[in-house]
Amino acid sequence: MQIGVLKELHDQRVAITPDLVKKLVKSGHEVVFESGAGAKAFAQDDAYEAAGAKAQNREAVVASSDLLMTIKPIAKEEIAQLKDGAVLVSQFQPFQDAAVCDDFSTKNLSTFSFDMIPRTTIAQSMDILSSMASISGYKAVLKATEALPRYVPMLSSAAGTIPPSKVLILGAGVAGLQAIATAKRLGGQVEAFDTRAASKEEVMSLGAKFVEVAGAADDKGAGGYAVEQSEEYKQKQQALIKEKIQKADIVITTAQLRGRPAPTLITEEMVQNMKPGSVIVDLASSTGGNCPLTEDKKSVVKHGVTIIGDSELSDLLPEQASQLYSRNIENYLKIFLNEEGISYDFENQIIRESCLVFKGKKVYGDTDQLLPKKEEVAESVEA
């Protein structure tokens, strides 16, 4: 089977690194890559070639690959160039725009989406969202400290003692926990809030104070995302956040609702009451942001507060982000590939839930009824 590696159109990362190429070639697969695919992630062409891959131009990789794996979907105009029966694996985010499935259901194509892999214990090793969120949480703190006109740690000098900066983390998922750990390492005084009661122990284990609001809705089955809360809870939440945010030097927000706009956690009034020079890093900017003043992919100053909106800070650490992404893919391929090619085991929850289109048939949202059982798909893509 021929596996293709493309240069991302709007990203510094690369989906497959030379380390994985070497393993794929050893398993009997052929790997082709677009020249310069990993250059921005410091994976040079000669490293791919040394691992056994062959360099080609983009058009040739798209047209000849049986399996194409990318970080972001290929351009719409490239779909027509795909090989008949090709399989694409990427982050299609159908919960934001289900119409993405229609683009691939006009011909004999199959698509699988990494962001649809169930966020369960058994799938942790292939959870791309968690890998990238961890990097984003780390980088969010560094971006904040760059913009902050104050020290983060407490410092003593002959001129007197400088108190530590107060850091408030809103959302203690993977990104939030990494942000807590990074801010603590830098010497900040850290507090964290999350609607999920289970986060309390994790926050405290990192040395931060947990800001708790009673009465949160049950988040079980939310797949690591926040869940919509009652109006009463939101009012109590905003009152407490308003109190805490007035004292904060750095605020990092991470709350997103799957398939829905991000919840508003910081109002414009709260920003007005923050200390001049304070910084907000909004990791939910791509879905509307946790602050109405946030602008995605931009850093703006409002009411004397710097607001940085970026949901893909992992792109700023392309080397290690690519390494982690590639390892996630490697673990996914362990259940997706066999010696003969692709094995469509739709009795496997991970394969079933990550499938959007199967052989030109849209199955997103109704996979249990539309996908054939394992015995009905005995054939595999030949090597």
Q: What is the mean pLDDT of residues 104-125?
A: 92
Euclidean distance between CA atoms 103 and 77, whole angstroms: 10
Determine the Cα–Cα distance for residues 286 and 160; give it in Å rounded to an integer. 42
pLDDT at position 236 is 82
- What is the structure's pLDDT at 276? 97
Which pLDDT tens digit goes with each residue over 57-99? 999 999 999 999 999 999 999 999 999 999 999 999 998 888 8
- Mean predicted confidence (pLDDT) in 286-300: 96
pLDDT number for residue 230 = 74
Judge if pTM exceeds 0.85. Answer: yes
Between helices 18-26 and 318-336, what is the axis angle to 10°?
Answer: 20
More confident residue, 231 or 21: 21
DSSP state, residue 259: T
CATH number for the domain whose boundaries are 2-125+318-377: 3.40.50.720
Q: Where are the domains of the chain?
A: 2-125+318-377, 133-316
Q: Which residues are catalytic?
A: 119, 124, 127, 130, 225
Instruction: Scan for tokens 């907000």, then name that residue.
Output: 280
- Residue 2's contacts (CB-CB under 8 Å, 6 or more residues apart) are 29, 30, 31, 32, 64, 65, 66, 67
Q: Given pLDDT bands bounded at 50, 70 and 90, which one contains residue 275?
A: very high
**What are the φ and ψ backbone dihedral angles of 80, each rounded to 5 degrees?**
-65, -20
Is 1.20.1260.10 the CATH number for 133-316?
no
DSSP-assigned letters across all residues of 137-179:
HHHHHHHHHHH-SS-SS-EEETTEEEPPPEEEEE--SHHHHHH
pLDDT tens-place string over residues 100-109: 899 898 889 9
The percentage of residues in the chain with a pLDDT greater than 90, rounded to a whole number, is 75
Mean of pLDDT values over 233-246: 86
With a cut of 50, say whether residue 382 has pLDDT above it.
no
